[in-house]
Structure 1
Amino acid sequence: MLDKKQLITIKGTRDGLTLFIDEVCSYDLVVNELHATIVESSPKENEPVVSVKVQLGNRFLTEQQKKELTDIITKDHRFIVESIESSVIRREEALRWKEHSDIQAVSRVIRSGQVLEVTGDLLLIGDVNPGGKVVATGNIYIMGNLHGIAHAGSIGDRQAFIAASFMKPNQLRIADYISRAPDYEADGVYMECGLVDEEQDKIVIDRLQVLSHKRQVLSGFERRMQNG
């Protein structure tokens, strides 16, 4: 007779336990086996509370199902659930992620009083004149002169950056950081970028070459450009 397949595997770590749940079997079977597994593994009353991470693999659970698993693990047992992680997300979430990671390529000059705002990264082939403004939820790449205002990471991404062929802005903004014109050389700088230096707690200007070291997302930008 074949051995019964183990649906839940427990791995102990320095920080607690990780529960690996079979991603193929029915949810009802998971619930049934989880009850038995938790009872067998529950710490004694004199032992400390144990942190548990749940790994679902390629299984998607609703919020109600996650709550049910959490209740099983924590109820009457000395466990706390630190996280429930899955490799699967809803289509709507995937589309939102794609929207915010896309590159919007625009070829135009942003003149005084004009505002160009995009979701994702902005690749502007053209200048931003004094009084013009460009805004992106991601990074900003300007193949031209930046004399106006540029705001990257507009919904709070402090890892965003601004790069320009020639940089002499009225103002740079990254997330909630603001850096004004007096912070820059009077004559402007060529092939430079602005990014948040968390140690200095401000926006700094540096050579474009530092981006490959300080912002790993740049390699993703290169791949997306190559792949269209």
Structure 2
Amino acid sequence: MLDKKQLVTIKGTREGLILFIDETCSFNEAMTELHDKINSSKPKPDEPIVSVTVKLGNRYLKTEQEERLREIISTKNRFEIYTIESDVVLKEDALRWKENSEVKIVNRIIRSGQVLNITGDLLLIGDVNPGGKVVATGNVYVMGNLYGIAHAGVNGDHNTFIIASYMKPTQLRIANYISRAPDYESEGVYMECGLIDEEQDKIIIDRLQVLSRKRLELNGFERRIQNG
């Protein structure tokens, strides 16, 4: 007689347990088997609580299903869920990710008093005049003169950066970091980038070449531009 297929597979690691749930069976069948395995391998009361990583594969859990899973893998059974990993992405989550990672191309001049807000990366083909402001949740690329204010990573992403064909801003902002214009008269710089230097704990302006080493996602931006 053929052995019954295991719906739940448990693998031990130094960090705890990894629990694989078969993605093709019914949820109730998997939970029944999981309940039996948890009860048969429950640590003793004086042993530390075991951390569990749950891998669902191509399965998505509804709220009530996740609650049941957490009830079985609970501290009362001497287990605790560290994370639940699924290869399934909800449509709204995928659309939100696309919106946040998309490069928005804008061809205009941002004049004094105007503010351009973008979700994702901004590629501005035009100037930002003094008194103008561009804001993006991602990176800011200005294919023109940056005289006004540029704010990248407005939601707190410290890895974003600002690039301009000609950099002489009133102010640069990246996440919660602010770099003000120098008190002295500056001639500005050509094809430079502004980014956060973690060691100096401030925004620095450096050559574009540093981005290939410090911001690997720039290669992804290049591919997106080339692929439209």
TM-score (norm 1): 0.95
Amino-acid identity (%): 68
Instruction: Specify the code of the residue in structure 2 equivalent to 1:206.
Output: D
Deviations 1:97-143 (A, max 9, x none): 11111110011111111111111100011111111111111110111
1:138/1:184 Cα in 2 relative to 1: closer, same or farther (>3 Å)?
farther
Query: Paired residue for 1:63?
Result: 63
Spell out structure 1 runs of 4+ moving beyond 2 A. none
Query: Paired residue for 1:177?
Result: 177
Query: Paired residue for 1:122?
Result: 122
CA–CA distance in 1 between the matches of 2:60 and 2:3? 27
CA–CA distance in 1 between the matches of 2:167 and 2:135? 16
1:38 Cα deviation from its structure 2 partner: 0.9
CA–CA distance in 1 between the matches of 2:30 and 2:129? 60
Query: Paired residue for 2:113?
Result: 113
Query: Paired residue for 1:51?
Result: 51
CA–CA distance in 1 between the matches of 2:201 and 2:75? 44
Query: Paired residue for 1:145?
Result: 145
1:64 Cα deviation from its structure 2 partner: 2.1
1:125/1:46 Cα in 2 relative to 1: closer, same or farther (>3 Å)?
same
1:20 Cα deviation from its structure 2 partner: 1.0
Instruction: Specify the code of the residue in structure 2 equivalent to 1:170.
Output: T
1:41 Cα deviation from its structure 2 partner: 2.2
Instruction: Specify the code of the residue in structure 1 equivalent to 2:62.
Output: T
Deviations 1:169-207 (A, max 9, x none): 000011111110118982111111111122222111111
CA–CA distance in 1 between the matches of 2:118 and 2:60? 31
Query: Paired residue for 1:78?
Result: 78
1:197/1:131 Cα in 2 relative to 1: closer, same or farther (>3 Å)?
same
Instruction: Specify the code of the residue in structure 1 equivalent to 2:218.
Output: L
What SS does structure 2 have at the residue aligned with 1:128?
A: coil
The answer on whether the counterparts of 1:8 and 1:33 sit within 8 Å (CA) in structure 2 is: yes
Q: Which runs of 5+ in 2 are unaligned?
A: none
1:222 Cα deviation from its structure 2 partner: 1.3
What SS does structure 1 have at the residue aligned with 2:77?
A: coil
1:18 Cα deviation from its structure 2 partner: 0.8
**Which piece of structure 1 moves more, 196-205 or 135-144?**
196-205
1:185/1:2 Cα in 2 relative to 1: closer, same or farther (>3 Å)?
farther
CA–CA distance in 2 between the matches of 1:75 and 1:132? 55
Query: Paired residue for 1:11?
Result: 11
CA–CA distance in 1 between the matches of 2:211 and 2:147? 21
Provide the aligned length of Structure 1 versus Structure 2: 228
The answer on whether the counterparts of 1:106 and 1:122 sit within 8 Å (CA) in structure 2 is: yes
Q: Which runs of 5+ in 1 are unaligned?
A: none
1:40 Cα deviation from its structure 2 partner: 2.2
CA–CA distance in 1 between the matches of 2:129 and 2:75? 62
CA–CA distance in 2 between the matches of 1:183 and 1:58? 57
TM-score (norm 2): 0.95
